[in-house]
Chain A
Amino acid sequence: MSTVPVEYFLIVAAVLFVVGAVGFLLRRNLLVLLMSIELMLNSVNLTLVAYNRLHAANHAGQNLAFFVIAVAAAEAAVGLAIVLAFFRVRKTIHSDEANLLKN
């Protein structure tokens, strides 16, 4: 078994979350936005699993991570479908172009 403390993984997860968040805030490509969301979800998953390592009496954290993966898969499917629909309408996947409601 690995002897690396849990805190190390938490740091990695925090940094990965910030990477995803920065990507989500700065990028305008809808596909990249979706990928950033996936990154953030993964970082949260990593946190959950890491804490589960500290409290190893049950699998609460791993189970929650499992459900997050399921939801993330669903989210990716629907999100990509929306991107396709959006592309069909606007002929672009630039997020600033999604402004039909604004006018």
Chain B
Amino acid sequence: MSGIGTFDLLFFGLTTLLVLLGGIGTVAAKNPIRGAMGLLTAIVGIAGMYLQLAAEFLAAIQIIVYAGAVVVLFLFVIMLLGPQATTSAGAAGTKVSRYFGAGVLLVTSVGAMSLLWRTRTEIAALPKLPPGHGTIEGIGRELFTTHIVPFELSGALLLVAVVGAVAVARGKQIDPTSAVKVAVAKKPTKQASGEAEAHTAHAKEAG
């Protein structure tokens, strides 16, 4: 414990605070918009942790992809669905479930801390980093040599995901509950087509 620098500890404390508060905010918020904001906070905190763990490139990616794309996509969808979808009754759970969740969280945290305390004598010293560790160059070199096949495959996966997202979100005019809700499906034709276009745009952005 003694080998930890004060600034390092402060920085770690800050990011930990961001991550945990953001996470709890995400799952506990009544309003999904607040939840998305919590997610954003947690993601930024994790990016900070990446920085401490010598993963600069991943930190950048984290900010760009998660904060820049995924969270924004969430926000778009929340906006799209409108208020009646986002603030339904009991959205944040009953009282019992809140207490239950808090209890689980507490137990886990204490358990994890106790494990840390038990292993305090075994904590390994951090190894020295080879030059270029965690930089774009370092990762890129491995990504395009050792992991070239999964890399290309992940490209294909993203393409499929984009196509799939568009196909699902556009919603072919098959309504499983057509017997009940024919009128609903038929009425807002103009608006629905506009929606579909918007979904397409978001899906692309996510990819």
Contact = CB atoms under 8 A, between A and B. Distances in A.
Interface of A: 1-9, 11-12, 14-16, 18-20, 22-23, 25-29, 31-32, 34-36, 38-39, 42, 45-46, 49-50, 52-59, 62-63, 65-67, 69-78, 80-85, 87-94, 100
B190 to A, nearest CB: 15
A12 B4 CA distance: 17
Q: Nearest 8 CB-CB pairs, A to B? A: A23-B27, A74-B161, A77-B206, A81-B169, A2-B52, A19-B23, A81-B165, A81-B168
B109 interface: yes
Contacts of B100: 26
Interface of B: 3-5, 8-9, 11-12, 16, 19-20, 23-24, 26-29, 32, 35-36, 38-39, 42-43, 46, 49-50, 52-55, 57-58, 61-62, 65-66, 69-70, 73-74, 77-78, 80-81, 85-86, 88, 90-93, 97-98, 100-101, 104-105, 108-109, 112-113, 115-116, 119, 123-124, 126-130, 133-134, 138-139, 142-143, 146-147, 150-151, 154, 157-158, 160-162, 164-166, 168-169, 171, 175-177, 181, 184-185, 192, 195, 199, 202-203, 206-207
B11 to A, nearest CB: 7
Contacts of B29: 32
A5 B123 contact: yes
Nearest to A18: B108
Contact of A15 (B43, B92, B105, B175): B105
Contacts of B97: 26
A100 B126 contact: no
Contacts of B138: 59
Contacts of B3: 3
Contacts of B86: 29, 31, 93
B27 A19 contact: yes
7 contacts: A15-B109, A16-B19, A18-B104, A49-B55, A73-B70, A76-B74, A80-B73
- State the main secondary structure of chain A at its contact with B: helix
A89 B177 contact: yes
Contacts of A56: 54, 127-130, 133
Given A78-B168, A89-B175, A31 B78 contact: yes
A71 B35 contact: no
B126 A80 contact: no
A54 B127 contact: yes
B8 A2 contact: yes
